[in-house]
Structure 1
Amino acid sequence: MKIICLFLFSLLICPGCGDDEPAIKVDLKIKEQVIRPHEPDVITYAYLPQYSHTVSYTRHHLLVSYLRKKTGLNIKQIFPDTFDHHMCMVGENKIDISFSNPFVYVKMARKYGAKAFARSIEASGRENFRGQIICRKDNVAIKNLSHCVQKRWIAVDSTSAAGFLYPLGFFLDHGIEKSDFKEIAFAPGPGGKQEKVILAVYAGKYDIGTIREGALDVVVGKIDLQQIRILAMTAPYPGWVYAARKDLDTSVVEKIQQAFKALDMKNATHERILKAAHFAAVISSTDSNFDSVRELVTKTDINLTQ
């Protein structure tokens, strides 16, 4: 009986093992975001990957589910790997609804015609947020901001707001130019960039790091946060923004905007959704709300079209 079973099993597997069929090499490192072809009505929703995809999903999947039910639209969250990937996908009409930092937004508005329609209120209740400059607590070479000169700086991304733009403006206000640093590096790889900056400083690979306010909470339990010191805080700027890609149907935008406005912390279900996303609320917004960010971009001499 065993011999018969083995024979039958060999017949099943042999058709795929012929000598004339070359082996196919699969590179598991290559990933591509796929939208099923039989779902032409999908509205894609993407959270700029400042954190890992796991954190992005955990924070926003309840919100996306709520929007889908509230609007009747087939909204699905997708996960760009990098800040540049996110921006390009908006330009290619692959992201319909973008949730991004205001620096990325003003770049997408300039390059691709994206339009702001809502913005988040921080969990603390503030409409604005700040950047933080951090170092190791035991780094005796850095006691104040002036000691950052000729030190190695790791930032989140060249298009990060609180993780690069705001601290850069803060340094300039205090007479420290980009050329004054020994090195300026950006967190490598896809996603999780805030965490990578913190871990790089914690490991002593860089002298200082710049992150968004609240990012330290993401690494609670992973490292000893007592070893991280917040050296300085930047001025506050407008919070994260929801933008629609160019030419997205205005009725779609209006439905999503109204669903955001309906979220209420006094509603137990809504409270759970908002707390998971680290929001206090989502309010309406317009492009002009981000003019202060554009002014900072001009001051720091950054090209919005690159």
Structure 2
Amino acid sequence: MSFRHLLFLCAIVALLLMPGCNGQPAPVKVDLSVREEVAPRARPPAITYAYLPQYSHTVAFERHQPLIRYLAESTGLNIQQVFPETFHEHMQMLEQGTIDISYANPFVHALTAQRTGTRFFAKIIEPTGEASFGGLIISRRNNPEIQSLEDCRGKRWIAVDQFSAGGYLFGLGHFVDHGLNREDFAEIAFAPGPGGKQESVILGVYSGRYDVGTVREGALELLADKIDLDQIRILAPTPRYPGWGYAARPGLADEVVEAVKSAMLALNPENPEHRLILDKAAMGRIIAAGPEDFQPVLDLVSRVGL
């Protein structure tokens, strides 16, 4: 190799070793002993919202998620739906403070208000336009032994839950008004398992395991694509009583309750977006309410001896 070639190669190597000349930054020494903790972004505490589990958790989720999203966006609150397994667990969680906002029947609200001071602040207008609802007393159509309410004497009755309004209390009241008391039935059973209790009552009657059942109005339609509803006879609708509504747990901040209430009352069925939310939740609209709204239910509880 000639001296000129050697000088040329040395120049090339020098250029490659020069910092910054090849577009790469100079190496930086990293001291791993120096660390900085990065705190996660804090989320506001969750406001828990629960739907009394008369239907399956899937139905509860599908019906109320659009409403919960709307409430969260309108109030800026972190509202999360929780899923109690039973009516009793729902009431316990409300009393213990693990449910902040409860959507339930007036029977449950009346009991929890008496026990712990929960605050009833809103109620729904049913899709029918009424601020009340009732129950249905059902039997299987081809049961020759049951043609009337009187025929239910001595028979097996399945109800939704001991704390169900349309699925037990209203039916019991109607039986009592027609001369049948609890002791006049061979058996009074309550639907087993978590959620899906209305469906369980209907299926219990449909299968013939029970002679008579009580559900809230509108429940039969849930099984329209699963069973032949023509095989179910409605023996009687019950009288109507104050409808479902909302209560806040004791101690929930007034400003939280007012924010949620204001957002609920702002839902306008004339607004197409709001109409979709209300329809999904099976509501006509939401209006303000107070404890006086479930007084007729308390009167019924007293009348039937519960």
State yes or no: 1:166 paired with 2:166: no
**Please, which of 38, 45, 61 is the counterpart of residue 41 of structure 1?**
45
Which residue is 2:153 aligned to? 149
Question: What 5-or-longer segments of structure 1 have no aligned partner?
Answer: 1-37
Deviation at 1:217, TM superposition (A): 1.1
Q: Which has the larger radius of gyration?
A: 2
Alpha-carbon distance in 1 for matches of 2:44, 2:281 = 28
Structure 1 residues 104-113 or 186-195, which shifts more?
Answer: 104-113
Question: Are positions 1:73 and 2:73 aligned together?
Answer: no
Secondary structure (helix, strand or coil) at the match of 1:106 reads helix
Quick check: 1:112 aligned with 2:116?
yes
Shift of 1:39: 4.9
Report if the CA contact (8 A) 2:44-2:77 is conserved.
no
- The CA deviation string for residues 199-255 of structure 1, in whole angstroms up to 9 with x for no partner, is 000000000000000001111101000100100011100000100000110111111
Task: After TM superposition, give the deviation of residue 40 of structure 1 in Å.
Answer: 5.8
- 1:248-267 maps to which residues of 2 (within 5 A)? 248-267=252-271
CA-CA distance at 1:126 after TM superposition: 1.2
Deviation per residue, 1:106-149 (Å, 9 max, x gap):
11111121110001111111110001100011111001110000
Provide TM-score, normalisation by structure 2. Answer: 0.85
Does the 8 Å CA contact 2:105/2:164 hold for their aligned counterparts?
Answer: yes
**Cα distance in 2 between the residues matched to 1:233 and 1:142:** 16
SS in 1 for 2:73: helix
Residues 262 and 242 (structure 1 numbering): CA distance in 2 closer, same or farther, change over 3 Å? same
Match of residue 291, structure 2, among 281, 287, 291: 287
CA distance in 1, matches of 2:291, 2:250: 13
SS at match of 1:184: strand
Q: For 1:65-109, what per-residue CA distance to the aligned partner results, in whole angstroms no more than 9, with x for missing partners?
A: 000001111111110000000000001100000000111111111
Task: Report if the CA contact (8 A) 2:153-2:180 is conserved.
Answer: yes
Whole-angstrom CA distance in 1 between matches of 2:70 and 2:159: 34
1:53 pairs with one of 44, 52, 57 = 57
Letter in 1 for 2:259: K
Q: Deviations over 1:172-225 (max 9, x none)?
A: 111111111010000001000000000000000000000000001111101000
Pick from 294, 299, 302 the counterpart of residue 303 of structure 2.
299
* Aligned CA-pair RMSD: 0.8
CA distance in 1, matches of 2:187, 2:45: 47
Show the counterpart of 2:5: none
Aligned partners of 2:275 and 2:296: how far apart in 1?
31
2:270 is the alignment partner of 1:278: no
Distance in 2 (CA, whole Å) between partners of 1:263 and 1:241 is 15
Distance 1:39 1:92, change over 3 A: farther
Unaligned runs of 5+ in 2: 1-41
Equivalent pair of 1:90/1:112 in contact (CA under 8 Å): no
State yes or no: 1:193 paired with 2:197.
yes
Per the alignment, in what secondary structure is the counterpart of residue 209 of structure 2? coil
Residue 224 of structure 2 is matched in structure 1 by 220
CA distance in 2, matches of 1:109, 1:276: 28
Structure 2 residue 245 is the aligned partner of structure 1 residue 204:
no
Looking at structure 2, the residues matched to 233 and 269 of structure 1 have their Cα atoms a distance apart, in angstroms, of 33
Q: How does the TM-score come out when normalised to structure 1?
A: 0.85
Determine which of 64, 67, 76 is the counterpart of 2:68.
64
CA distance in 1, matches of 2:221, 2:118: 31
Moved over 4 A (4+): none
**SS, match of residue 85 in structure 2:** coil
2:117–2:250 Cα contact (<8 Å) kept: yes
What fraction of aligned residue pairs are identical, expressed as a percent?
A: 52
Aligned to 2:141: 137
Count matched residues: 265
